[in-house]
Amino acid sequence: MSENFEPNVVAFLCNWCSYAGADLAGTSRIEYPPNLNVIRVMCSGRVNPMFVVNALQQGADGVLVSGCHPGDCHYMEGNFLARRRFALMRELLNFVGVDERRFNMSWVSASEGAKWKDVVTGVVNNLQEAGPFTEFPRKKIDW
Amino acid sequence: MNTHPYKPNIATVQDTWYETFGDRCIKTFKVVFDDEEVRDNWTHLPGQCAMIGILGTGESMISISCSPTEGKFLRFSVMRAGKVTKALHELEAGDKMTVRGPYGNTFPVDEWKGKNIITIGGGIGQAPLRPIIEYVRAKKSEYGDLTVVYGARTSADLCFKGEFSELAKVENTSCRLSIDAKEEDWPHYVGFVPALLMEINPSPENTIAITCGPPIMINFVLQNLKKLNFPDDQIYTTLENRMKCGIGKCGRCNAGNLYVCKDGPVFSYAMLKNVPEAFA
Amino acid sequence: MLDLDKLRALAKETISRDDIKYLIGWRQGTYGFRTSPHFVGNLEDAEQLIFSPLCSSNLATYLTLAEKRPVPRGAQPDTRRVAIMVKGCDSRAVVQQLVEQGIKRESVYVIGCPCEGIIDRRKLEEKVPHTLERVEARWENGKIILDLPAGRAAFPRDEIVAGKCLTCRYPNPVIADVTVGEDVEVRGSAGFEDINWLEVKNAQERWAFWRDKVNSCIRCYSCRNVCPMCYCAECILDKLNPAWIQRSVNVSENTAFQLARAFHLAGRCIECGECERVCPVEIPLSHLNRKLVKEVSEQFAFTPGIDPEAKPLLAGYRPNDREAFIL
Amino acid sequence: MKLSKDKLADFLAAIPGKTVFGPQLSGETLRFTPVTRPGNLCPTVNNATVPPKSVVFPQTETMFRFEQGATDIRTAEPSGETVLFGVRPCDARAMSIVDNVFFWDVDDPYYLIRRTNSALVGLACLDPCVNCFCTSMGGGPASTEGLDILLTDLGESYLLEVLTGKGEMLCQSAEKLLSQASSADKEAAKMLQEKAAAQISRQIDPSGIPARLPALWESPIWEKISASCLGCGICTYLCPTCHCFDMQDETEGEESRRYRTWDSCMFSEYTLHASGHNPRPTRRERTRNRINHKFSYFVDKFKVMACVGCGRCINLCPVNIDILDILSQVGEQAL
């Protein structure tokens, strides 16, 4: 893919850790790629796997789900439940031929502004390599 | 002029108000077509419906709740229930909606000239009855007595509340309202509509009875009208079913071999009593 | 070999009990190799009951499909049990429904039917086309015997049974109040040869494969409706607000539909293969389910529909679940 | 006329400016899709799983487009002419039955354009399936109703019968490829057609059904028949005469459209009111409606039964609900 491809990434961030972590990165003036469309959710456990499918349908080139580190969930077990769910969803997406770089999950705490930068940079770089999502976005459908 | 059967006309909401409140509140919309040609060519008669909707959301078949005698506008009273009606309830004066129609048959207003009319409504079922009431009222000299019987669960659930006191003042017209359970300062009947009908005890002589309301009420009203010796062809009701196209193509609104959107919504009991799904 | 007279006697005895509402079994179909679910309400109905290699339907679907009509005022609700005949795979559906509390143990009476493999009608019709006369079939010494109009024919089991039977690890019912016939030997392989060939392809090739299949989906929802595990009162596929999946039929929505369907069966699919059997456009739906079965087994060492005391897989977790994929 | 099979590709290529649809593999099954290489055509095996109604009444069809928030509605009239090649006589007959619905009272503009702009080249059904019962429904393996041209497979060539002006136009462009059919050819075709008709073993006399159905409204047979029904859409989606549709709006970015898509009376949402009330609450009512619609209501309205005996619903029903079995139950039930 061309160097200048700017992937469109939808990021579901948990309110308590990852959103705060991203915020910290911002207030600390840590620079990271601006390709993210952030959707704040209360917990990574709230992210329905269909959100991921829907994001891809609606034009995302990749999706990132980020929550608290295991054991730190504000709701005790939300991220554990999410982990199981997405471990399977990831395999399913991959099995139908969606490049595995398009779905990412991370644990970023409220104090990990630097890690947030690394995660986002990694995801965006990977997606730049993978190129635009062309498998089943709605846009490709001829009305 | 738009002759495409599926292409809706754009109309502007002129005024809105709530008839009732709560989870399934009823809101009335007064709308005017944007296109002058459509406005001038639009004709409807009491009983007919229109597909109203919002582009990007969808359409719902709603009965036109005003009489053509009221002016060059349309009125719809919509209960907040599904996807489209919820979106419609968000509309305020100045917003756009789509209207196509009018659809369905009409009350046979010409045939009824010279006759007494009694309407028996319940809840939102008053919406399709309102145009015939207004129509008869506007042409009072051509019709006999007009009796309006209308009930709802509580006084707050009555639609068109402000209109009945005016209506009762019209010559040879009477209004009987009812609610299910006793309330303070309620001067009218307390009980169910079918029972009120028996109390009024209308004579079937030269009289047309029109009923609309929840299925259970319609069933009891029909039984009582039979007790009052109303012949089948003097009893009318309007049906509703889920609809999509409005022009007898999409297939879903049938009750037996009748398409409610084309053959109805107005039916005489003489016609319906042999239709198996009519009161399902 | 199964003794039909014994089966029918058992059925008669069962439906004569006061605590049984009706019995769900199979009967010969209207033509050829078809069989049909059979609702036995009286002794006469019991005479048509069969169990043979042609009994493909997973009847557990009917435990949750029956509409609950309102109980008339003053009447007592009918709490009698439904008797149901189950093959090995079907019994796993019953267990999984119990696990999820979709049904109650005291509301079903399970008649277990050990099964040596169910005929795949498409495979058989390719070998024996144009069969209108009703055909009976039975298992015998590892073969399947068919009484065809042209005479008796024996087919090697593995040639005509459904794909699911070749990988079946539970031919004997895992739950039963009473069992008909003798337990049979487990012959299915524990591997995932059926999907390995697709897994080893690259992402573009896999998508090319699925695009072609999913493109032909007509969204009749038979795969969902036939599934004993798809019993939500309101399915997200039917929801219009929000519309998770648009009703328009195209590659995008069809893919989303199939992903939703497969994922909602993650850790729940009991591999009865009904979705694939009923698909009118022959989409290999089992592949999606089998992929998840494989992942569930490898990552979480879990097999659904075995233990009625188990917890639903995705409703729980272990702190040390694998998380190599997480950044 | 006669068309040699090796000239089929040239025949199709000679049709100017029209898209040719024919039965081709789509995934694992046959459906009518645009023919890009005549070699992909599968006209001789069994009938297509998805009937050719999908060409004149696509499963999903844009009705009009608009921009979010705007009031300018741009209707999406279908354009282009089509030729449907290899249509079975039953499916062609089904189209003329469906015409009744789309052309009564108000014409459906989308269907009207697609239907007027398509020509039907039929292929006589010489090897009927086990569940074919077209002869009982007023058709036959070589019925010409609704077709513009009928082909009969003579082995090396097709006997070509031109039935309408539209058919004649198609042949004009390919005149050079056609040869005169001998009377022996015609005789051979007739023999094959008669043999096929005789091969159809499932029969029923449906003439009494419309009159019996109203009387059986409350009959317990509906409960029995529908007990095993899964409520899926196979029987209706794949029925060549089923025509019900749903209308929905869809938005992608700034652009929106209203489209219609096949719907099925076997789905509970089909009649579900927004209030939660459903006039057909269970599979019993829905099954009863399906049969009544085909064999009673449709007859009341359009004087023809909405079934052509193609056998698809029997072949593909997952639980062997057999429409012939239902009809014979209806026929045998005491009134």
CA dist., res. D205 & res. D324, Å (int):
10
- The enclosing domain of A52 has a CATH number of 3.40.50
CB–CB of B183/B155 below 8 Å? yes
Tell me whether residue C327 is in a domain: no
Model confidence band, residue B1 (pLDDT cutoffs 50, 70, 90): low
pLDDT of residue A3 exceeding 70, the answer is no
Mean pLDDT within C278-294 = 96
What span, in angstroms and rounded, lies between the C-alpha atoms of C291 and B49? 52
The answer to whether position A48 is within a domain reads: yes
| Mean pLDDT, residues C148-167 taken together | 94
Q: Tell me how far CA of residue C91 lies from CA of B31, C59, D229, in angstroms.
A: 60, 9, 21
Q: Which residues of C touch A95 (CB under 8 A)?
A: 198-199, 206, 287-288, 291
Residue C321 inside a domain? The answer is: no
Which DSSP string corresponds to B57-105? TEEEEEEB-S-GGG-S-EEEEEE--SHHHHHHTT--TT-EEEEEEEES-
Q: Is A59 left (phi over 0), alpha (psi -120 to 50) or beta?
A: left
Instruction: From chain D, pick out residues whose CB is under 8 angstroms from the CB of A58.
Output: 252
What is this model's ipTM?
A: 0.92
B55–D279 C-beta distance less than 8 A: no
Question: pTM of the full predicted structure?
Answer: 0.93
Q: Is residue A93 part of a domain?
A: yes
What is the full per-residue pLDDT of chain D (335 aa) written as tens digits? 899 988 988 888 888 788 999 999 988 899 999 998 888 887 777 789 999 999 999 999 999 999 988 889 999 999 999 999 999 999 999 999 999 999 998 999 999 999 999 999 999 999 999 999 999 999 999 999 999 999 999 999 999 999 999 999 988 888 889 999 999 999 999 999 999 999 999 999 999 999 999 999 999 999 999 999 999 999 999 999 999 999 999 988 888 999 999 999 999 999 999 888 899 999 999 999 999 999 999 999 999 999 999 999 999 999 999 999 999 999 998 87
> What pLDDT, on a 0 to 100 scale, did the predictor assign at position C287?
96
Strands B58-63 and C151-156: unpaired
Split into its structural domains, chain A has a count of: 1
pLDDT digits (tens, 9 = 90+) for D267-279: 999 999 988 889 9
Range of the domain at A54: 9-135
**Quick check: is C326 in a domain?**
no
Domain boundaries, chain D: 2-199, 206-332
Q: In the 3-class helix/strand/coil scheme, how is chain D assigned residue by residue?
A: CEEEHHHHHHHHHCCCCEEEEEEEEECCEEEEEECCCHHHCCCCCCCCCCCCHHHHCCCEEEEEEEECCCCCCEECCCCCEEEEEEECHHHHHHHHHHHHHHHCCCCCHHHHHHHHCEEEEEECCCCCCCCCCHHHHCCCCCCCCCCCEEEEECCCEEEEEECCHHHHHHHHCCHHHEECCCHHHHHHHHHHHHHHHHHCCCCCCHHHHHHHCHHHCCCCHHHHHHCCCCCCCHHHHCCCCCCCEEEEEEEECCEEEEEEEECCCCCHHHCCCCCCCCCCCCHHHHHHHHHHHHHHHHHHHHCCCCCCCCCHHHHHCCCCCCHHHHHHHHHHCCC
Per-residue pLDDT tens digits for B123-154: 899 999 999 999 999 998 999 999 999 999 99
CB contact under 8 A, D263 and B276: no
Give the pLDDT confidence score for residue C84 in this predicted structure.
97
Is C325 inside a domain boundary?
no
> Domains plus CATH for chain B?
9-103 (2.40.30.10), 116-238 (3.40.50.80)
Closest Cα of chain D to C118: distance in Å?
Answer: 15
Residue A3 lies in a domain: no
Q: How far is A51 from chain C (nearest CA, A)?
A: 9
What's the rounded mean pLDDT across residues B259-273? Answer: 91
- Both tokens of C186, joined, read 């487990």
In this model, does residue B176 exceed pLDDT 70?
Answer: yes
> Two tokens at B107?
């009350």
Interface contact B72, partner C, CB < 8 A:
no
Whether residue A99 is contained in a domain is answered as: yes
Domain assignment present for A53? yes
Taken in order B238, B243, B245, B248, the sign of the CA dihedral is negative
D102 contact residues in B (CB cutoff 8 A): 249
Do residues A110 and A20 lie in contact, with contact meaning Cβ atoms separated by under 8 Å?
Answer: yes
Confidence class for position A92, pLDDT limits 50, 70, 90: very high
Q: Please tell me whether residue B237 adopts helix, strand or coil conformation.
A: strand
Nearest to residue C160, comparing CAs of C284, C240, C56?
Answer: C56
Asked, for residue C324, whether it belongs to a domain, the answer is: no
Q: Which residues of C touch B86 (CB under 8 A)?
A: 241
Q: Which domain holds residue C253?
A: 4-67+79-315
Exposed, middle or buried by CB within 10 Å (0-12, 13-18, 19+), for C3?
exposed
B11-28 average pLDDT score: 93
Please state the domain count of chain C. 1
C239 domain residue, yes or no: yes
pLDDT recorded at residue C1: 56
Give SS3 for C112: strand
Residue C240 in contact with partner chain B when CB distance is under 8 A: yes
The mean pLDDT value for C7-29 works out to 95
Residue in chain C nearest A90 by alpha carbon: C325
Buried b (16+ CB within 10 A) or exposed e, B161-175: eebbeebeeeeebeb
B69 vs C305: CA distance, rounded Å: 68
Taking 80 as the threshold, does the pLDDT of residue A30 lie above it?
yes
Residue D279 buriedness (CB in 10 A; 0-12 / 13-18 / 19+): buried
Q: What percent of chain D has pLDDT over 90?
A: 80
Quote the tokens at residue D67. Answer: 């921009």
- C126 interfacial to chain D (CB closer than 8 Å): no
Between B and C, how many residue pairs show a Cβ–Cβ distance under 8 A?
A: 5
pLDDT band at C3 (very low <50, low <70, confident <90, very high): confident
Rounded Cα distance between C36 and A79, Å, is 45
| Contact present, B121 and B91 (Cβ < 8 Å) | no
- Does residue C72 belong to any structural domain of this protein? no
- For chains A and D, having 3+ Cβ pairs within 8 Å is answered yes
Q: Which whole-number Å values give the CA distances from B128 to B135, C191, D314, in the listed order?
A: 12, 66, 44
